[in-house]
Structure 1
Amino acid sequence: MKRIGVLTSGGDAPGMNAAVRAVVRKAIYHDVEVYGVIGGYAGLISGNIEKLELGSVGDIIHRGGTVLLSARCDEFKTKEGQLKGVEQLKKFGIEGLVVIGGDGSYRGAQALTSHGFPCVGVPGTIDNDIAGTQYTIGFDTALNTVIDAIDKIRDTATSHERTFVIEVMGRNAGDIALWAGLAGGAETILIPEDHYDMNEVCERLKKSKERGKKHSIIVVAEGVISGVEFGKKIKEMTDFDTRVSVLGHMQRGGSPSAFDRVLASRLGARAVELILEGKGGRAVGIRNNRVIDHDIADILEEPHSLDFNLLKLSKELSI
C-alpha cells in the first residue's frame, strides 16, 4: 500500500488534530503518501481531497477542532453516495482510509469497507459513547472544561446562596455528566442511563438546606431533560432561588489535554498500522492502557456501557 487517506467526521472533538498528525506522520515514516479529505464524507463525495506533507500537520497537536473540517452528510447514508465516495478515492489512488469520529462516522467506514474499500475507525467524540474503548478522543478535555465551569459556578452559587442546575452535553450518554459531577462535587447527577425521582431530588436539596448548606449544584445530562425545564421544576417544588447554566458547545472547543494528545497519537498510529497490514473494517480503542482493535460491526452493535460504581459513589459522597 502506497497511498492512504484520512478524514474527520461528525462533531469535532479536541485531539482530532493530534490524531490526524499521528496518521500523517506514521504513514510518511513508512514511506506511504497521505491525502486529507476536507469536510468529512461530504468532502469525500465532492472530491475535496489534498495531499498532506509533514509540514501540513506541523503545529496542530495543540489545537482544538479539526483542520480537516467536518460536516454532516445525509447523501453518504445512501449507497449511491457511498459509491461516489469510493470513486473519488480511486480517482486519487487512495488504497485505505482512516476515519476519525463517532458512531455515525464508523457507519460510514463500515459501508466503505463493505464496498471493498478498507477503512479503520478512530474514536473521536467528547461523548465517550463508543463501545470497544474506555476513552474516546476529546472526552478528557471536555470533562476538564466542564469541571472548570462547575468550579466557577460554585463560587457564585455560594455567594448568593443559590441552587444551580448545569446542563452538559453527551447526547444519550451520561459520561460527561457523571465524571464531571463526581469530580466537581455535585449534590445530584442526572444521566440517561439511570432513572431519577423528582421528589427524591427535592428532598435531598431540602435536607441539605436544613443542615446549613446554603447552595447546591445539580449536573444534568442533555439526554435526560432540558436544564431550563428541570430548573423550573426545582423552583416550583422547593421555592429555592434556582439558576440554570447550559454550557453548550464550549465543551467541544479548547486545546486538548495531555491525555487526549497522547491517546490520539497512539490510536492514530495504530490505525495506520492496521491499514498497512491490509485490515479494513476495524476500530481502534484503548483498554487498561493497551491499544486494541475490534471489528467495526461488533462495535456498532454493542451498547455503550457506563460505570455505575461511579454513580453509586457520587450518591454516597453527596449526602
Structure 2
Amino acid sequence: MQRIGVLTSGGDSPGMNAAIRAVVRKAIYHGMEVIGIKRGFNGFIEGDMEPMHLGSVADIVHRGGTILHTARSEAFKTPEGRARAWENVDRFGLQGLVVIGGDGSFQGAGLFHREYGLPVVGIPGTIDNDIAGTDFSIGFDTAVNTAVDAINRIRDTATSHERTFIVEVMGRDTGFIAIASGLAGGAESILIPEQPFSLDDICDKLCRGYRRGKLHSIIVVAEGAASGLEIGKQIKERTGFDTKVTILGHLQRGGTPTAFDRILASRLGARAVELLMAGRTSKVVGLVAGEVVESDLHRVIGEKKKVDLNLYRLASILAI
C-alpha cells in the first residue's frame, strides 16, 4: 500500500488533530503517501483533497477541532454520491482510507467498503463515547473535563447565592458525559436517557438536603433525558427554591484536548495505519482495558454501547 486517504466526519471532537497527525506521520515513516480529504465525505465527493506532508501536521497535537474540517454529508448516503467519491479514489490513487468520526461516519465507510472494496479503518472520534469496541472515544475525556470545570465554577455561584443549578450537558441518546461529569462534579442528581426518573423523587431529595442544612445543589441533565430549562422550571414550581439553568452546549466540543485524548488519538491513529499496511480492512481501532484492539467495522455499527450503570448508582449513593 503506497497511498491512503484520511478524513474527519460528523461532529468534531478534541483530539481529532492528534489522530490526523499520527496517521500522517506513521504513514510517512513507512514510506507511504497521505491524502487529506477536507470536510468529510463531502470533500470525498467533491475531490477537495490534497497531499499531506510532515509539515502539514506540525503544531496541531494540542489543538481542538480538526484541520481537515468536518461536515455531515447527505449526498454520500446516495449511490450517486458514493459513485462520485469512487471516481476520486481512482483520480487520487487511493489504496486505503482512514475515517475519524462516530457511528454515522462508520456507517458511510462500511457501505462504501461493501460497494467498492476500498480498504477502510475507522477511528472513534466523538465526545458522546457511544461507539462499541472501545472504552473511550477520542474527545470524551476532554468533554467530561470541560463539563466538570463548568460544574466547579457553577458550584461556587450556587454556594454563594444558595441556589439550585441545573447543568445540561450533551448526550442526545446516551448518558456517558452526564454520568462521568456528574460523578466527578459531585452532582446531587443525574438524569440520563437510559434511566427513567421521577421529579417528585428529585424534589424530595432536594428538600431533605435543605432540612439538614444543605443550601445549594447541582443537577446534571443529559440533553436526551429532558430539557434542562423545563426541569429547572418544574423544580422551582414544586420546591420554591431559587433555581437556575446552564446549558453547556457546544462548549463541550471545543478546547485543547487533554493529555489522555492526545495519547489515545496518537495510539489509535498509528494502529489504523498498521492495519491498512497489514491488509486488515473494515476494522475499527479502540482501547479496551488499556490495550489497543481492533473490532469488525460492521459489528461495531450494529452494536449499541451501554453506559455503566454501576457508576450511575455509585453517583446516586454518594449524593445522599
Give me the TM-score of the superposition, normalised by structure 2: 0.99
Q: Return the offset for 1:171.
A: 2.0
Aligned partner of 1:288 in structure 2 is 289
Identity %: 60
In 1: Cα distance, 2:263 partner to 2:20 partner = 12
SS in structure 1 of the partner of residue 210 of structure 2:
helix
In 2: Cα distance, 1:42 partner to 1:136 partner = 23
User: Where do 1:191-202 residues align within 5 Å?
Assistant: 191-202=192-203
Aligned partner of 2:42 in structure 1 is 42
Amino acid at match of 2:100: I
In 2: Cα distance, 1:11 partner to 1:303 partner = 19
Amino acid at match of 1:76: F
The Cα offsets for residues 161-207 of structure 1, whole Å up to 9 and x where unpaired, read as: 00000000022110100000000000000011111111111100100
Aligned partner of 1:234 in structure 2 is 235
In 2: Cα distance, 1:243 partner to 1:149 partner = 14
Q: Return the offset for 1:148.
A: 0.3
Aligned partner of 2:256 in structure 1 is 255
SS in structure 1 of the partner of residue 72 of structure 2:
coil
Aligned partner of 2:113 in structure 1 is 113
Aligned partner of 1:24 in structure 2 is 24
Aligned partner of 2:151 in structure 1 is 150
Farther-moved stretch of structure 1 (241-250 vs 112-121): 112-121
In 2: Cα distance, 1:82 partner to 1:232 partner = 47
Query: Which residues of structure 1 form unaligned runs of 5+?
Result: none
Aligned partner of 1:128 in structure 2 is 129
SS in structure 2 of the partner of residue 149 of structure 1:
helix
SS in structure 2 of the partner of residue 291 of structure 1:
strand
Matched, 1:205 2:201: no
Contact 1:82 1:111 (C-alpha < 8 Å) held by counterparts: no
SS in structure 2 of the partner of residue 152 of structure 1:
helix
User: Where do 1:1-319 residues align within 5 Å?
Assistant: 1-114=1-114, 115-319=116-320
In 2: Cα distance, 1:122 partner to 1:79 partner = 24
SS in structure 1 of the partner of residue 245 of structure 2:
strand
Farther-moved stretch of structure 1 (53-62 vs 72-81): 72-81
In 1: Cα distance, 2:87 partner to 2:238 partner = 60
The Cα offsets for residues 239-297 of structure 1, whole Å up to 9 and x where unpaired, read as: 11000000010100001000000000000000011111122211010000000011111
SS in structure 2 of the partner of residue 219 of structure 1:
strand
Query: Which residues of structure 2 form unaligned runs of 5+?
Result: none
In 1: Cα distance, 2:50 partner to 2:293 partner = 30
In 2: Cα distance, 1:251 partner to 1:315 partner = 23
Amino acid at match of 1:126: I
Contact 1:168 1:221 (C-alpha < 8 Å) held by counterparts: yes
The Cα offsets for residues 215-243 of structure 1, whole Å up to 9 and x where unpaired, read as: 00000000111111111111111111000
SS in structure 2 of the partner of residue 50 of structure 1:
strand
In 1: Cα distance, 2:166 partner to 2:82 partner = 43
SS in structure 1 of the partner of residue 129 of structure 2:
coil
In 1: Cα distance, 2:252 partner to 2:171 partner = 10
For the aligned residue pairs, the C-alpha RMSD in angstroms reads 0.6
Give me the TM-score of the superposition, normalised by structure 1: 0.99
Q: Return the offset for 1:301.
A: 1.0
SS in structure 1 of the partner of residue 187 of structure 2:
coil
In 1: Cα distance, 2:309 partner to 2:221 partner = 16
Q: Return the offset for 1:82.
A: 1.3
Contact 1:165 1:243 (C-alpha < 8 Å) held by counterparts: yes
In 2: Cα distance, 1:272 partner to 1:86 partner = 21
Q: Return the offset for 1:300.
A: 1.0
In 2: Cα distance, 1:183 partner to 1:254 partner = 19
In 2: Cα distance, 1:256 partner to 1:17 partner = 9
SS in structure 2 of the partner of residue 99 of structure 1:
strand
* Number of residue equivalences: 319
SS in structure 2 of the partner of residue 126 of structure 1:
coil
In 2: Cα distance, 1:117 partner to 1:152 partner = 48
